Amino acid sequence: MAEQLTIIKVGGKIVEAPDTLSRLLADFAAIDGKKVLVHGGGRSATHIASQLGVETHMVDGRRITDDAMLEVVTMVYGGLVNKRIVAGLQAAGVNALGMTGADMDIIRSVKRPLRDGIDYGWVGDVSRVDGVALSRIIDGGIVPVIAPLTHDGHGHMLNTNADTMAGSVACALARHYDVRLVFCFEKEGVLLDENDDSTVVSQLTRNCYAGLKDKGIVSGGMIPKLDNAFATIDAGVSEVVITKASNLNDLSRGTHVVG
């Protein structure tokens, strides 16, 4: 039987605030077995960009990444945010290694083409993940901490959606481990009433998901997150959990996506 691997994806809102970061690091360190952390950092990028006089442009919640913004996100995601997490995990006794997709050529992407006439700039869509290289790191007792940056193999870094990266990494590593993928965000899970955390859907099947979409209960940014979740199940990931970051010490909570 394959050994279990837990992949945690956490948004920038959690890793950028000292109190929530401190709890995340403690809870992540307490997770048994092999593990990987994939993180965001968008608010920090926007803040640093403003300080540097670089204007932020967003379309439907997605960052337009021109040359100047690419420099900012590379510095912030791969540097400031990533190394702050790594240092905190080392202090918690976790031998963490901060990485982008360019390091060891673990994740390549292709530059996103125009979509509906919108040029997203240096934004990448994942094309390949080297699960063998990542598994060697993990089997060596090291915990990868992956920033939302990839590369195209031609010398360009690419800003890449962290949810997509976590899903792609999970699919690649499912060939080597029994993978559990956990998406952490600000709610308890998928909710029947977005204003009431007690209405969490504990188990979500495809049929249930389709019904919730038809009724408009699941909408907006939750749709691509759940589409991504079901795609990873199809690729061999054994379990996907959508939950609050503060629930990492009890992953029986939240929404469990099943095939």
Beta-strand relationship, 203-204 and 96-99 = unpaired
DSSP letters spanning 156-168 = -EEE--HHHHHHH
pLDDT of residue 28: 97
Domain borders along the chain are 4-186
pLDDT of residue 186: 83
* Residue 220 structure tokens: 């907006």
* Residue 59 structure tokens: 């379309």
pLDDT of residue 15: 87
pLDDT less than 70: residues of the chain: none
Residue 40 main-chain phi, psi, to 5 deg: -105, -155
**Spatial distance between the Cα atoms of 175 and 237, rounded to a whole number of angstroms:** 9
Q: Name the CATH topology of 4-186.
A: Carbamate kinase (3.40.1160)
**Spatial distance between the Cα atoms of 51 and 34, rounded to a whole number of angstroms:** 38
pLDDT of residue 11: 87
pLDDT of residue 190: 92
34 Cβ neighbours under 8 A, 6+ residues apart: 3, 4, 5, 6, 138, 139, 143, 177
Q: What angle do CA 166, 167, 173 make, to 5 degrees?
A: 90
Q: Residue 79 gets which letter from DSSP?
A: I
Q: 50: left (phi > 0), else alpha (psi -120 to 50), else beta?
A: alpha
Which residue carries 């905190």 as its tokens? 88
Amino acid type, 38? V
Q: Residue 247 gets which letter from DSSP?
A: G
H/E run at residue 95: none
Longest dimension (CA), the chain: 53
Amino acid type, 150? T
